[in-house]
Amino acid sequence: MPTLSKGELSEFLPHRGAMCLIDSVEAWDETTIRCQTRSHRDPANPLRRDACLDAVAGLEYAAQAMGIHVGLRDQSRSRDNVIGYVGGLRDVVFGIERLDECLSDLIIEAACLLVDTQSFMYQFAISSGGRIVISGRASLFLKSRQP
């Protein structure tokens, strides 16, 4: 499977420009996705505060990877009138305090554990330099946009 570029990924997210945090999808199948990014080292990262990128920002990286996976799984679904959101987080573990101190690229991996019509449960892990720095589970929900 070809790697998907940042431009192609923005089709699956409500974000544009610098807020599209994932650089590429390295691999995906029906149940898993593996993404890569170096945006955590960018001084202009929109999630930085006081020149720092706190580890909690990693939850947005994980959410974007999961959202991209939902879109890739069902490319026939219209994205124009649907928005996805994180409905819950469980068992989140932070192994670091700041993402911007990770010198290697971030690898974001997510595995879909449960699928319903408009909801998804994922297990995710973010690693850098071969070390898991954030992990947990998240529930994603799709909702129709109101006209």
Higher pLDDT, 40 or 15: 40
Higher pLDDT, 19 or 110: 110
pLDDT tops 70 at residue 82: yes
**Whole-number Cα distances in Å, 6 to 127, 143, 144:** 19, 24, 25
Instruction: Answer yes or no: are the C-beta atoms of 12 and 33 closer than 8 Å.
Output: no
Report the predicted TM-score, pTM, of the whole model to 2 decimal places: 0.91
Mean of pLDDT values over 88-117: 96
Q: What is the pLDDT of residues 57-81, one digit of tens each?
A: 999 999 999 999 998 988 765 556 7
What average pLDDT is seen over the chain?
90
DSSP β-ladder status, 106-115 and 32-37: antiparallel
Superfamily of the domain at 6-144: Hotdog Thioesterase (3.10.129.10)
* pLDDT for the residue numbered 79: 58
State the burial class of residue 35 (Cβ atoms within 10 Å of its Cβ: 0-12, 13-18, 19+).
buried
DSSP-derived secondary structure for 91-113:
EEEES-SBGGG--SPEEEEEEEE
